[in-house]
Amino acid sequence: MPYVAPLWPAGHLPRKGGDQLVAHLDARHLRQCHGNRLVAHVDARDLPPRGGDGRQARGGRAKELRLQFLRWLFAILLALTTLPASAQSLENLASLLPEGNFSDRAQTVAAIAATGDPRAVPLLEALAAGDLNVVESTGQIVTLSGRGDPLEATDAITGDSIGEIAKASVERIRVNNSLRRAVRTAIGQLTLMSPDANTRMTAARAMFQAGDPVNVELLDEAIAEEQNPAVLQVMREARAVAILRADAEPADFAEAVDTIAARGDRQALGILQAALSSADADVTPTIEQGIADIQSRLALLDVGQNVWYGVSLGAVLLLAAIGLAITFGVMGVINMAHGEMVMLGAYTTFLVQNFIRASFPDLFDWSLAFALPAAFLVTGLIGVAIERGVIRFLYGRPLETLLATWGLSLIIQQSVRTIFGASNREVGNPGWMSGSFDFYGIAITWNRFFIVIFALIVFAALLLVLKRTALGLQMRAVTQNRRMASSMGIRTPWVDAMTFGLGSGIAGLAGVALSQIDNVSPNLGQGYIIDSFMVVVFGGVGNLWGTLVGALTLGVLNKFLEPYAGAVLAKILLLVFIILFIQKRPRGLFAQKGRAVEA
């Protein structure tokens, strides 16, 4: 139901819930009450002229509040700045937030930033997080905490508790992306002088993103006082963007071009390309030079980026395939249920995480460390059970093994679907596996990075087990010559069971890792079984090194093809390549030498 407000004269702003005129704001008034550092850029006449066509919010849910954080920020800011005069206008402006449509609210946000009131920062942060509510009867802006109904309400400006309030009597102030952008810029303006370097950095980045010419003055002031070189650099870049978009002096303009060209990333490229159209003839060559420099740098980066993407895809393939390299490669069992072992590993991670979340929430960041042994044990034991229950009766009959394990995979999938439901299960990324870091201009995501490390560790550990332990020795003996090994007193059935258990356990470990990048659903394993067989066959059956080289080769090849051929065609080309390769070298990259013995 659209809310229609009456028209009112310019400069007179209404308050929600009545036609009483409470604010007599004009530009002069704003300048009088703003802080001694910030310049008011917004004339009150720019404020929402009417609250007409905005769609009023429907429903909405209570949010988990970050009150602790807000209070802390609030206290620091209050202690460091003294701006008593702005109290009046912040309250009035805040009461306008529920009014109008999103672009009206964005203007209100800009006006709030112009007050320079330190209490505006937590208010705006709560707004961006969607935590602000308006009490319908009084027009008071509150934040809510707790669960259920009624909720604890806190005045969003003063931070005073105002007791319990029924959900139905408040309406949430809605935000959308454009409003969040306005808030980001506003918080940037307000915190550019913050004593905390990290806050200033965030503020400077927000200024860079906004690139609004009105911020030049503010940035000049901040640059004059800035001590931290990293923050200073971003502030200079932010100022340069603002200059490029304004009608600046030619000298300033040329300097700004240099600053941006020195930044040298994709964003800089975009900014320069945009600047090219509005530039004077005498600076055009400089800009063109800058664009060319960035482009050649980016071309080099692209190669590095593709290599990294290829390695990280290869690591995922390696993890998925390495268990199969044992069961298929070493034992010769065509194990179609391998993917389901991966899936069970992922579900084990889900269960472990759920248990930790419920019982030891502090340990959540370590949940994967607990999930690893659990997944290894669970899938390893299931693997032993499968070997003892089904596969041992089928050695030497590859077709029957294939059918039996395929049937098993369907049974396992459907059981999981029955127990856990068909929909995806949420496995959280621990904090240290979220986000990315910058490596010479290549954005490397932490989860992929750790998976590469983890894949290499698993590979090395497996190699150790095979080469340095008694079990490994027996495994190799049995696969090379079962009869001879048996004659030497090795219990070949036991070795078979252990080998299959080891392969399945490693698939379970892969499941833990894959739960961090893929869906945890009953279909998880299906997506990897074909790729796993591809890697093992390509790398050479029975050779772990072959699996490593095979996985990385296929990963890198895929990622170099993808930008040119597209994801669909790249996969097809890869399959064609493998088929041709197998024609030439039927035993794969690293064919096992000597007398391979069929069981």
Contact footprint for other proteins (CB under 8 A): 55, 57-61, 63-64, 102, 130, 174, 176-178, 180-181, 184, 209, 266-267, 269-271, 273-274, 305-306, 309, 312-313, 316, 413-414, 417, 421-426, 428-429, 434-436, 443, 445-448, 517-523, 526-527, 559, 562-563, 566-568, 571
Residue 161: both structure tokens together: 């508790």
Nearer to other proteins by Cβ, of 59 and 84: the residue is 59
Nearer to other proteins by Cβ, of 102 and 545: the residue is 102
Tell me how far apart the alpha carbons of residues 290 and 300 are, in angstroms, rounded to a whole number: 16
Closest CB 316 distance from other proteins, rounded Å = 7
Tell me how far apart the alpha carbons of residues 372 and 596 are, in angstroms, rounded to a whole number: 34
Please spell the DSSP secondary structure of 341-409, one letter per residue.
Answer: HHHHHHHHHHHHHHHHHHH-GGGGGGHHHHHHHHHHHHHHHHHHHHHHHTGGGGTT-HHHHHHHHHHHH
Q: What number of other Cβ atoms are within 10 A of residue 141's Cβ? A: 23
Tell me which residue of 173, 167, 12, 163 sits closest to 94, measured CA to CA.
Answer: 173
Nearer to other proteins by Cβ, of 230 and 569: the residue is 569
Closest CB 53 distance from other proteins, rounded Å = 10
Closest CB 504 distance from other proteins, rounded Å = 22
If you count DSSP H runs as helices and E runs as strands, how many of each does the chain have, helices first?
A: 21, 9
Phi, psi of 547 (to 5 degrees): -65, -40
Closest CB 93 distance from other proteins, rounded Å = 22
Nearer to other proteins by Cβ, of 355 and 545: the residue is 355
| Contact indicator for 21, 172 with CB cutoff of 8 Å | no
146: left (phi over 0), alpha (psi -120 to 50) or beta: left
Nearer to other proteins by Cβ, of 105 and 482: the residue is 105
CB within 8 Å of 525: residues ≥ 6 apart: 338, 339, 340, 341, 342, 343, 409, 413
Nearer to other proteins by Cβ, of 51 and 522: the residue is 522
Closest CB 245 distance from other proteins, rounded Å = 10
Closest CB 573 distance from other proteins, rounded Å = 13
Nearer to other proteins by Cβ, of 208 and 395: the residue is 208
Closest CB 66 distance from other proteins, rounded Å = 11
Tell me how far apart the alpha carbons of residues 458 and 520 are, in angstroms, rounded to a whole number: 21
Tell me which residue of 178, 179, 241, 247 sits closest to 207, measured CA to CA.
Answer: 241
Residue 531: both structure tokens together: 């790729």
Residue 11: both structure tokens together: 């400069």
Closest CB 317 distance from other proteins, rounded Å = 9
Residue 517: both structure tokens together: 């990048």
CB within 8 Å of 155: residues ≥ 6 apart: 140, 141, 142, 161, 162
Nearer to other proteins by Cβ, of 239 and 425: the residue is 425
In order of 164, 448, 491, 535, the CA distances from 315 in angstroms are 53, 9, 34, 11
Closest CB 129 distance from other proteins, rounded Å = 8
Closest CB 527 distance from other proteins, rounded Å = 5
Q: How many residues does the chain have?
A: 599
DSSP conformational letter for 321: H
Closest CB 21 distance from other proteins, rounded Å = 30
Nearer to other proteins by Cβ, of 98 and 428: the residue is 428
| Contact indicator for 268, 294 with CB cutoff of 8 Å | yes
Closest CB 525 distance from other proteins, rounded Å = 11
Nearer to other proteins by Cβ, of 238 and 485: the residue is 238
Nearer to other proteins by Cβ, of 161 and 273: the residue is 273
Question: Burial code of 18-46, b = ≥16 C-beta within 10 A, e = fewer?
Answer: eeeeebebeeebbeebbbeebebbbbbee
Nearer to other proteins by Cβ, of 131 and 387: the residue is 131
Closest CB 267 distance from other proteins, rounded Å = 5
Tell me how far apart the alpha carbons of residues 299 and 277 are, in angstroms, rounded to a whole number: 24
Nearer to other proteins by Cβ, of 309 and 328: the residue is 309
At residue 344, what is the residue type? Answer: L
Nearer to other proteins by Cβ, of 542 and 555: the residue is 555
Tell me which residue of 105, 4, 108, 103 sits closest to 51, measured CA to CA.
Answer: 4
Beta pairing, strands 132-135 & 436-439: unpaired
Closest CB 424 distance from other proteins, rounded Å = 2
